[in-house]
Amino acid sequence: GNSVTQMEGPVTLSEEAFLTINCTYTATGYPSLFWYVQYPGEGLQLLLKATKADDKGSNKGFEATYRKETTSFHLEKGSVQVSDSAVYFCAADGGGSTLGRLYFGRGTQLTVWP
């Protein structure tokens, strides 16, 4: 079946530090991959996506590259800000018979200190 595993948090960083949140997936086919961000008291917001191998999704300084060989989609940012503090979710859409059904990782809480 389809599943997503992401690194457990919480992650605490100082402002301007480098961020990596690991995400790997298990799927029967070639899923589309997403990163969502959840700020306190709000719903999930799409951060970036990639739909095929070697695609790089990017937005607001965040990047993630779809690596088929390692079944990974790690989130990176070169210099985090306090405003990036949130919970980050990796998700996969398996396509085919499960098209539209998102499988989420458990979420990673990021706290950035000034």
Partner 1 sequence: DSGVTQTPKHLITATGQRVTLRCSPRSGDLSVYWYQQSLDQGLQFLIQYYNGEERAKGNILERFSAQQFPDLHSELNLSSLELGDSALYFCASSVGPEQVQPQHFGDGTRLSIL
Instruction: List contacts with partner 1 (CB under 8 A).
Output: 32, 34, 36, 41-46, 49, 51, 89, 93, 95, 98-107
DSSP string, 10-79: -EEEETT--EEE-EEEE-SS--EEEEEEE-TTS-EEEEEEE-STT-EEEETTEEEE-BTTTTB--EEESS
- In angstroms, what is the minimal distance from the CB of 49 to partner 1? 6
Nearer residue to partner 1 within complex by CB, 41 or 114: 41
- In angstroms, what is the minimal distance from the CB of 106 to partner 1? 5
